[in-house]
């Protein structure tokens, strides 16, 4: 028999409703095998998906999500769901433009409600859908509309502690209709869960005795439609399940009936309780206990490492994860350890991403000055503001895509107060396989609006070290440095000079564009790692053009003296950034030139276009955006044609197999 025979036979979730329990168990094994095999080759989210296989099967077995609503929180636990909704053929190209996204994606299937990459959103969006279905008369009602739509939120990886989740729960309790929150409680966030709520769930999982639970359960069941069936199941399963119904559970404070915790890997039990929950006409939480990484020995024992691993190979009793080159994250980790060793005022935190941001080392070495706050970026930044107010020098390590969730705090509690909080923005720019939900494409545009903010970018490890040292002693305002999910380059291995506020660094010291005796054809100003690709591009054009290359270092304040000097010499400028052109570095250069009443007609901006770039390799994404070496070379040729007064050509931007004609980004 084909090892994926059952899985490959599924075209829609309705197909599994004819399966026996034994076949569903075999299906779970096939799903795990398929996910492990694929992620071992390409990387991806492994442990979160292995932990929800039975739970996902049971949900699709009981509910009909062709009309019912299933919302994910967090989205990286969706692989089993995608395999059950007819996307097995897309698994082989996971996280590429030819295959399926690693997150829910409505472009792929009607079974995906939202593109979900950030935690805390499912309950609130589900409340909105529940209210909308009620208004339109489509909502399930056991008497008036028994075939109506039901709503289910699947919560995972401790995202329930997110502030938006709390706000959603507060409103969910006011719904007068069916509304199910399934809490996938695996005792883990992306790393170990943090905070008082996480500790509460730890105690709940470990506790075996509740006071007079049978009486409590009966009192609850009197007020619950279908309660007699739950009571029968309670008696039938015996002593082992006395803990399953708890009237005094934490969620009761939000007005949601709470059942559980139940075993999230016991298919008959899951199906029975979900079948009961399906008929409830009031908000309810089903607390499901799972094992993150279930079914793969290595991920069960080390769910953090195998949360989202690179490709790996199992060799007997060992597993070898693809190592790759030294990353910016690793470079940041070592730099922060050095800074904290030298300066006792430096403190640091992350929001549930100690491994992802590189703070694990300093968490271990400086436990009294480093914190993991859990999945709550807004709280983390406000906490950093409080530390800054006491005279500390706080660093907040956070993915660029997640700092968006703390913009209000960056505005109100940091920038407005004139406090020196330091943002270290990992995964800035294009992020590869995680795709549109995780691109760090707008941190410059949102932070540049804050008065007195100082915004930097690093191009390599020495540059990152120098930028962090500048920020350490910058006590006047909010500051931020951005760097990508990429390996550090050694192309500019010379000693890196210190950062000076608002001053760019010339990377072609023999050709600066400022020496009238050595004129240049073009000056390329790069913000961050595009400088590496620009240097490669310049090397291919050495016989055609004399090009000055600059590492801009700062987008705020931008180097106005350099811009003035170049434009006063009529030198064309190409700006390059791994960021949206809207409000980004190129825009800052244009604004500075305009404010100085300089001619901007030969400034050409290269950066991320004003459309979504979906999952693929980072290399391919850079090519799509035209900011790899080949794209930058085209921009250099184009800007020289502009300076010669030639007609402006069209540029073809290729994305996901489609071509869109676009005019070069410049200002006339």
Q: Are 644 and 638 in contact (CB under 8 A)?
A: no
Q: Judge whether 345 counts as a catalytic residue.
A: no
Tokens (6 digits) for 301: 């024992």
Tokens (6 digits) for 251: 């969620």
What angle (nearest 5°) sits at the alpha carbon of residue 228, between those of residues 222 and 231? 95
Say how far residue 506 (Cα) sits from the centre of its chain: 34
Say how far residue 52 (Cα) sits from the centre of its chain: 20
Cα–Cα dist 288/171, whole Å? 22
Q: Alpha helices of 249-296 — where are they, by DSSP H?
A: 267-279
Which helix (DSSP H) or strand (DSSP E) does residue 215 occupy?
Answer: helix 213-221
Q: Alpha helices of 346-497 — where are they, by DSSP H?
A: 354-357, 360-365, 377-389, 400-403, 407-409, 443-447, 461-473
Active-site option among 231, 377, 413, 577: 377
The gap between the terminal CA atoms of the chain, to the nearest Å, is 66
Pair type for strands 312-315 and 318-321 = antiparallel
Tokens (6 digits) for 219: 């009192």
Cα–Cα dist 253/356, whole Å? 34
How many residues would you count in the chain? Answer: 668
Active-site option among 292, 369, 393, 448: 292
Instruction: Find all residues with CB under 8 Å of 501, minimum gap 6, and list them.
Output: 454, 470, 554, 557
Q: Judge whether 377 counts as a catalytic residue.
A: yes
Q: Judge whether 11 counts as a catalytic residue.
A: no
Mapped onto helix, strand or coil, the DSSP state of residue 24 is helix
Active-site option among 82, 294, 405, 482: 405
Cα–Cα dist 584/605, whole Å? 10
Cα–Cα dist 474/458, whole Å? 16
Q: Are 602 and 645 in contact (CB under 8 A)?
A: no
Mapped onto helix, strand or coil, the DSSP state of residue 154 is strand
Q: Give me the active site residues, please.
A: 292, 377, 405
């Amino acid at each position: 028999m084909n090892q994926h025979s059952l899985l490959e036979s599924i075209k829609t979730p309705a197909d599994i409703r004819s399966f026996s329990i034994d076949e569903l168990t075999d299906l779970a094994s096939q799903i795990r095998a398929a996910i492990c095999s694929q992620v071992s080759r390409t990387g991806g989210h492994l442990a979160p998906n292995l932990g929800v296989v039975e739970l996902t099967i049971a949900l699709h077995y009981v509910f009909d999500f062709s009309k019912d609503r299933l919302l994910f929180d967090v989205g990286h636990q969706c692989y089993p769901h995608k395999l059950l909704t007819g996307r097995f053929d897309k698994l082989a190209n996971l996280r590429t433009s030819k295959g399926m996204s690693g997150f829910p994606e409505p472009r792929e299937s009607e079974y995906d409600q939202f593109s979900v990459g950030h935690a805390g959103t499912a309950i609130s969006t589900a409340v909105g859908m529940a209210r909308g279905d009620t208004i339109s008369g489509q909502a399930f009602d056991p008497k008036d509309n028994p075939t109506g739509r039901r709503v289910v939120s699947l919560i995972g990886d401790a995202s329930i502690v997110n502030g938006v989740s709390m706000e959603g729960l507060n409103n969910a309790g006011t719904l007068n209709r069916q509304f199910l929150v399934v809490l996938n409680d695996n005792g883990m966030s992306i790393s170990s869960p943090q905070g008082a709520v996480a500790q509460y769930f730890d105690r709940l999982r470990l506790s075996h005795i509740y006071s007079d639970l049978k009486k409590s359960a009966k009192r609850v069941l009197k007020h619950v439609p279908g309660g007699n069936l739950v009571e029968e199941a309670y008696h039938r399963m015996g002593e082992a399940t006395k803990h399953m119904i708890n009237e005094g559970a934490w969620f009761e404070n939000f007005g949601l009936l709470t059942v559980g915790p139940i075993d999230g890997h016991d298919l008959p039990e899951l199906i029975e309780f979900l079948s009961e929950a399906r008929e409830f006409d009031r908000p309810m939480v089903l607390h499901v206990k799972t094992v993150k990484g279930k079914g793969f020995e290595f991920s069960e024992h080390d769910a953090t490492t195998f949360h989202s691993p690179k490709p790996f190979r199992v060799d007997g009793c060992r597993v070898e994860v693809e190592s790759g080159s030294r990353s910016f994250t690793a470079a940041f980790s070592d730099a922060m350890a050095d800074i904290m060793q030298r300066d006792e005022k430096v403190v640091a935190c992350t929001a549930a991403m100690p491994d992802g941001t590189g703070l694990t080392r300093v968490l271990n070495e400086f436990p009294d000055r480093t914190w993991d706050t859990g999945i709550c970026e807004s709280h983390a930044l406000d906490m950093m503001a409080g530390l800054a107010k006491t005279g500390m020098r706080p660093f907040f390590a956070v993915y660029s895509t997640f700092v968006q969730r703390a913009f209000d705090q960056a505005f109100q509690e940091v920038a407005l107060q004139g406090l020196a909080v330091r943002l270290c923005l990992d995964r800035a720019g294009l992020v590869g396989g995680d795709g549109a939900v995780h691109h760090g494409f707008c941190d410059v545009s949102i932070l540049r609006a804050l008065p007195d903010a100082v915004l930097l970018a690093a191009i390599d490890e020495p540059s990152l070290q120098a930028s962090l040292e500048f920020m350490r002693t910058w006590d006047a305002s909010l500051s931020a440095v951005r760097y990508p999910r990429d390996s550090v380059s050694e192309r500019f291995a010379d000693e890196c000079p210190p950062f000076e506020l608002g001053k760019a660094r010339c990377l072609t010291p023999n050709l600066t564009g400022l020496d009238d005796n050595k004129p240049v054809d073009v000056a390329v100003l790069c913000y961050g790692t595009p400088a590496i690709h620009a240097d490669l591009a310049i090397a291919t054009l050495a016989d055609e053009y004399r090009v000055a290359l600059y590492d801009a270092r700062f987008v705020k304040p931008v180097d106005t003296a350099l811009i003035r000097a170049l434009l006063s010499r009529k030198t064309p400028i190409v700006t390059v950034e791994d960021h949206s052109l809207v409000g980004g570095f190129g825009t800052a250069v244009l604004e500075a030139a305009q404010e100085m009443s300089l001619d901007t007609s030969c400034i050409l901006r290269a950066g991320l276009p004003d459309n979504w770039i979906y999952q693929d390799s980072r290399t391919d994404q850079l090519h799509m955006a035209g900011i790899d070496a080949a794209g930058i070379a085209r921009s250099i040729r184009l800007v020289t044609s502009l300076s010669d007064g030639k007609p402006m050509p069209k540029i073809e931007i290729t994305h996901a197999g489609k071509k869109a004609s676009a005019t070069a980004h410049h200002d006339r």
